[in-house]
Amino acid sequence: MPHATIDALPATALMPPRPTVRDPAWRARVFWTLAGLALLWPMGVLTEFKPWVLLEPGALKPALNFVGAFFPPRTDAEFLALLLRETWRTVAMATAGLTLALLLAIPLSLLSVRVLSLSGLAGRMTLGAAVMRQCVRWLLLVLRSVPELVWALVFVRVVGLGPTSGVLAIALTYSGMLGKVYADILESGDAHATSSLMRNGSGRLQAFFYGLLPQNAAELTSYTVYRWECAIRSSAVLGFVGAGGLGQLMDSSMKMFNGAEVASILLVFMALVWLADRMSSALRKNLG
Amino acid sequence: MPQSSAAKDSYQLPPKLFDARCKACWLVLGVLLLVVASFATLDLQWAQFWSWGALQKMGRFVGELLQPETSARFVGKLLPAMLETLAMSALGTLLAAALGLALALPAARTHAQDPARWRGATRLWLNALRSTPELVWAALLLIAAGLGPFAGTLALGLHTAGVLGRLFAECLENATPGPAFALRVRGVDEVRVFFYATLPQVLPQLLSYTLYRWENNIRAAAVLGVVGAGGLGQMLAFHMGLFQMGETSSVLLAMLVLVALVDALSYAMRRALSR
């Protein structure tokens, strides 16, 4: 029995000396924790971060009442018909906005792609071509850095309430995003086919349609579908500033503290986002 | 005989434009129908948009936007709002990272023997958090938290927690199982396995996701104020409502500067992380 012999020995004889259990990095850890807290404090003050406000009876009671009214959600035929119409309007706004965005994004991205430069084939692009491409890139940057909600606020002032401003807002912001990403995708691939077409005398549009586009079609489509999904989400939000669709319905229900209506709208909204998400991922999977 | 068949091929007509068996054709048809139906059913007022009055209004708008208000008094109000927006985005992202990690743990199946009983339920919660946009969260939270940046911070935190929770859960599931397994077979408990094997592996990626979401959140925080949740957005909605285009234009510029700043900062931090 070998165990017996081991047991017979004193335990300390076999054990290695117990290592000192100390965190070698404790100094750094303490320092970063303190530094983090020091940084967190002013942020909490600036954002009026007072979670206990939520639990004050004055705030808690209306909130609980409101949430309590969520069940059951409002499901009568009249409201459902309204909901269905606004849901379609949300989808239609996203689709129309994205279509207009494409009309702007495709020419702009073609203008800004360096691969399709004839003078670039010889080595360096001529000055005019390079300046023009940089200007188009800046235009795209400006278009996409103003959030669609701000565009919508501007257009609501100009054309009045309704889906027109929502469609225009989506069209402008998304043309900036799509144009930039399209240009990036087109430039990231292997440019050999395109440049050899152009070297052999094809036009730039021909080189695009026969060389560049077939190479990148799947990626371009997949990105566009993904952006469509995003556009649905933002078109629902744009209603909050008066651009029609689910957001506007929600805004008015919320102003009347109608919890049952808000619950139905939220449910439809989640279902819509989920459906768009599923559809877009299924489509993108098919594209490979 | 290959020659004759090749010769026959050249006489064949080009493929039909629409083939009932071709999936892509149906897809294109569906997309076209969707686009046509969208334009047809929306009451788009192009006539009004391109009308002389609207164009004049637009021109005046743009003209006034090009003259931002730069008086010291206004800039003195603008700077605190910028700081407020920055703090909202940063704190909201931090909250989201904490809540996201807390939700990602039950939502991830880290090893084969993990029962992960709460996986489905937690994922459902994460999806619900994620599919409600920040602006909707803010509008809902205004009732409980009142007007001001606190509601906006919470709204950012909740929506981003859904996004980050899902990404974190995927990160945890994709972590190399070796180190965790080594600790687990020696009987180390799950908490220590997480802190000493899984977390050190995935931490850089979690941080980089969080920084990336911070970039998104500064954009969202800038506009959240439109529903009354504080920061630059509230100023924007206020001045635009009063048609004070000079002030509006300054607020827009401040937003762009802030976004560019955060982008640069986050880019630098991610570079430092990946080195």
Give me the CATH number covering residue A180: 1.10.3720.10
Phi-psi region of A184 (alpha: psi -120 to 50; beta: other; left: phi over 0): alpha
What pLDDT does A1 receive?
A: 43
The answer as to whether A7 is a domain residue is: no
Distance CA A216, CA A141 (A): 22
What pLDDT does B7 receive?
A: 53
| Contacts with B, A 142-161, CB within 8 Å | 145-147, 149-150, 153-154, 157-160
Question: pLDDT exceeding 70 applies to what percent of chain A?
Answer: 92
The answer as to whether A231 is a domain residue is: yes
Is the pLDDT higher at B260 or at B61? B260
The answer as to whether A14 is a domain residue is: no
Instruction: Judge whether residue A88 has pLDDT over 90.
Output: yes
Instruction: Judge whether residue A7 has pLDDT over 60.
Output: no
Instruction: Judge whether residue A181 has pLDDT over 90.
Output: yes
Report CB contact under 8 Å: B139, A160.
no
Nearest to A185 by CA among A221, A142, A210, A136: A221
Query: Residue A101, SS3?
Result: helix
Which range among A105-119, A156-170, B51-65, B258-272 shows the weakest confidence by mean pLDDT? Answer: B51-65
Distance CA A50, CA B191 (A): 31
Number of domains into which chain A is organized: 1
Contact B49, A168 (CB under 8 A): yes
Q: Once rounded to an integer, what is the mean pLDDT over residues B181-191?
A: 90
Distance CA B96, CA B102 (A): 10
Report CB contact under 8 Å: A93, B38.
yes
Instruction: Judge whether residue B6 has pLDDT over 60.
Output: no
Q: Is A232 on the interface with B (CB under 8 A)?
A: no
Nearest to A134 by CA among A125, A146, A144: A125
* Chain B residues with CB-CB distance to A63 below 8 A: 143-144
Q: What fold characterizes domain B86-274?
A: MetI-like fold (1.10.3720)
**Residue span of the structural domain in which A180 resides:** 77-287
Distance CA A208, CA A200 (A): 14
Q: Once rounded to an integer, what is the mean pLDDT over residues A211-228?
A: 88
* Chain B residues with CB-CB distance to A283 below 8 A: 27
Instruction: Judge whether residue A127 has pLDDT over 90.
Output: no
Which range among A47-61, A134-148, A266-280, B171-185 shows the weakest confidence by mean pLDDT? Answer: A47-61
Average pLDDT, chain A: 85
Size of interface A-B (CB pairs under 8 A): 151
Q: How confident is the model at residue A277 (pLDDT cuts 50, 70, 90)?
A: confident
Nearest to A183 by CA among A121, A130, A137, A124: A137
What pLDDT does A92 receive?
A: 93
User: DSSP assignment, residue A212?
Assistant: I
ipTM of the complex: 0.78
Is the pLDDT higher at A17 or at A195? A195
The answer as to whether A54 is a domain residue is: no
User: DSSP assignment, residue B226?
Assistant: G
The single residue listed with the structure tokens 């399709």 is A116
Task: Closest CB to B149: pick one of A48, A236, A269.
Answer: A48
Report CB contact under 8 Å: A93, B48.
no
Nearest to B235 by CA among B120, B112, B226: B226
* Chain A residues with CB-CB distance to B87 below 8 A: 42-43, 46-47
> Which of B21-35, B77-91, B111-125 reaches the highest mean pLDDT?
B77-91
What pLDDT does A6 receive?
A: 52
Q: How far is A42 from chain B (nearest CA, A)?
A: 8
For residue B18, count other CB atoms closer than 10 A to its CB.
10
DSSP A214-259: HHHHHHHHHHHHHHHHHHHHHHHHHGGGT--SHHHHHHHHHHTT-H
Q: Once rounded to an integer, what is the mean pLDDT over residues B223-239?
A: 86
User: DSSP assignment, residue B177?
Assistant: S
The answer as to whether A21 is a domain residue is: no
Q: How confident is the model at residue B1 (pLDDT cuts 50, 70, 90)?
A: very low
Distance CA B93, CA B215 (A): 10
For the record, the structure tokens of A206 come out as: 């021909």
The answer as to whether A4 is a domain residue is: no
The answer as to whether A201 is a domain residue is: yes
Q: How confident is the model at residue B240 (pLDDT cuts 50, 70, 90)?
A: confident
> Which of A35-44, A132-141, B110-119, B228-237 reaches the highest mean pLDDT?
A132-141
Q: How far is A258 from chain B (nearest CA, A)?
A: 12
pTM of the model: 0.81
Instruction: Judge whether residue B187 has pLDDT over 80.
Output: yes
* Chain B residues with CB-CB distance to A93 below 8 A: 38, 42
DSSP chain A: -HHHHHHHS-HHHHSPPPPP---TTHHHHHHHHHHHHHHHHHHHHHTT--GGGGGSHHHHHHHHHHHHTTSSPP--HHHHHHHHHHHHHHHHHHHHHHHHHHHHHHHHHHHH-STT-TGGGGSSPPHHHHHHHHHHHHHHHHHHHS-HHHHHHHHHHHH-SSHHHHHHHHHHHHHHHHHHHHHHHHHHS--HHHHHHHHTT--HHHHIIIIIHHHHHHHHHHHHHHHHHHHHHHHHHHGGGT--SHHHHHHHHHHTT-HHHHHHHHHHHHHHHHHHHHHHHHHHHHH-
- Name the residue of chain A whose CA is nearest to B233's CA: A150
Instruction: Judge whether residue A101 has pLDDT over 50.
Output: yes
Which of B85, B93, B135 would best serve as a mutation to test chain A binding (most A beta carbons within 10 A)? B135
The answer as to whether A83 is a domain residue is: yes
What pLDDT does B158 receive?
A: 95
Report CB contact under 8 Å: B252, A157.
no
What pLDDT does A19 receive?
A: 65
What pLDDT does A14 receive?
A: 61
Contact B112, A250 (CB under 8 A): no
Instruction: Judge whether residue B201 has pLDDT over 80.
Output: yes
Average pLDDT, chain B: 86
Task: Closest CB to B150: pick one of A50, A164, A257.
Answer: A50
For the record, the structure tokens of B105 come out as: 């743990």
